[in-house]
Amino acid sequence: MPLRARDFYQVMRLHGEVTEQLEECLRGEGITSGQYTVLSLLATMEPTSSADLARKLRITAQSMGQFVQALESKGLVERDSNPAHGRRIDIRRTARGRTVLARCDRLVDEAERQFFSPLSAGEHAQLREWMTRLRIARHAAHM
């Protein structure tokens, strides 16, 4: 009987391929796939705290701090105290951060088109539905 690759192994390999594609397409903008993810999330949550971003991405506060520090050093985000929330420091994209994110989004759109090109439009939609269903089920299981 032929050996079948484990599903988790297949998912891990795809994750590696996606990360590689993202790193490659973002290299010209001078940001990493992780930094792009934080900028993208900020677009939907800003202003927000580093702790909230870390929780949303399920990473440590220390890792998020490194992402924010790198983005701030590149002039893509800024931090301000939030007088309404005591010691909370809010993070938001700068004008430059919004511009860079828009350029990166176009690059990632093209990378996704190429990556998923072996699938028909219907297969791609089905894959997206399955990934969403799995993510929602996993999230519900941890609540």
Q: Which domains does the chain have, with CATH numbers?
A: 7-118 (1.10.10.10)
List CB contacts of 46: < 8 A, sequence separation 6 or more: 90, 91, 92, 93
pTM: 0.86
At residue 24 the predicted structure's pLDDT band, cuts being 50, 70 and 90, is very high
Q: What is the mean pLDDT of the chain?
A: 92
What is the percent of the chain with per-residue pLDDT over 90, rounded to a whole number? Answer: 83
Lowest mean pLDDT among 30-39, 79-88, 103-112, 115-124: 79-88
- Give me the pLDDT at residue 5, please: 82
Lowest mean pLDDT among 4-13, 16-25, 84-93, 94-103: 84-93
What is the percent of the chain with per-residue pLDDT over 70, rounded to a whole number? Answer: 97
Are 77 and 93 in contact by the 8 Å Cβ rule? The answer is yes
At residue 139 the predicted structure's pLDDT band, cuts being 50, 70 and 90, is confident
Report CA torsion sign: 103, 105, 107, 109.
negative
Q: Which two tokens stand for residue 22?
A: 């993202």
Q: How far apart are CA 61 and CA 75, in angstroms?
A: 21
At residue 3 the predicted structure's pLDDT band, cuts being 50, 70 and 90, is low
Phi-psi region of 101 (alpha: psi -120 to 50; beta: other; left: phi over 0): alpha
